[in-house]
Amino acid sequence: MVEVWDSEGVRIISVLSRKGGVGKTLLSVGIAQVLGEAGFAVALLDRDPEGSAMGWQHNAEAGGVTLPYRVIGPIQAAQLGSGVDFLVIDTPPNDTRILRDTARQSNVLIVPLLPGAGEVDRVQETVAALGEAELVEGAKLGFILNRLDNDNVSASMPGVLEELGYPVVAHVRKAVGYQRAFGNLIPRDLTPPFEQALRELEVLA
């Protein structure tokens, strides 16, 4: 169990899913970037042993790119202190323990979801795991539809989630620009969905 930080006034936004490859790291980075560009002090905690978010930062440093947030590991998170407005947390797939541990410390929980009936089935595992976590008072939960295409499956997703009662806070289209952004800033024309999610979740006005 990692008691991640102990600092007052830091708001914690986590990106969670039991399923792999749904866009947890991309959305974590996108949200950290938008908040950093809005002038907040942002740390992005990489709780995935695979270290994709860490890799993003290393790549940026190697390319001389300055990111408007810093990526940290669990040890640095434990010593976070004040001076950070937002802690965004990227989590690993297939790890219910880290998922629950992160969820119970989060003020805002974001679950990415890809188009497809199987994807909707799989997200129920995440919802069930979150249901067993004791959340902080006033915690907000939102779903982000990711990698939306111009097809019928993608078009049906908002309705399917509405029927399930899962609040969708943003739609992110499938775009090669997101893939190319690894280790870089996400281009401005691709960041509006992250801003939208943060407004829907009442993080940004």
Ligand X SMILES: Nc1ncnc2c1ncn2[C@@H]1O[C@H](COP(=O)(O)OP(=O)(O)OP(=O)(O)O)[C@@H](O)[C@H]1O
- Which residues are at the interface with Mg ion (CB under 5 A)? 24-25, 52
Tell me the residue ranges of DSSP E strands in the chain: 11-15, 42-46, 70-72, 86-90, 108-113, 140-148, 168-173
Question: Does 22 engage in binding with ligand X (CB under 6 A)?
Answer: yes
Among 167, 174, 183, 185, binds ligand X (CB under 6 A): 174
Closest distance of CB 100 from ligand X, Å: 17
Question: Does 54 engage in binding with ligand X (CB under 6 A)?
Answer: no
* Distance separating alpha carbons of residues 167 and 144, to the nearest angstrom: 9
Residue 156, class by beta-carbon neighbours within 10 Å (0-12 exposed, 13-18 middle, 19+ buried)?
A: middle
Closest distance of CB 22 from Mg ion, Å: 9
Collapsing DSSP to helix, strand or coil, 109 comes out as: strand
**Contact window for ligand X (CB under 6 A) among 58-66, 136-144, 168-176, 195-203:** 168-176
Two tokens at 72?
């940290």
Closest distance of CB 131 from Mg ion, Å: 23
Q: What are the residues binding ligand X (CB under 6 A)? A: 20-26, 48, 52, 93, 146-147, 172, 174-175, 178-179
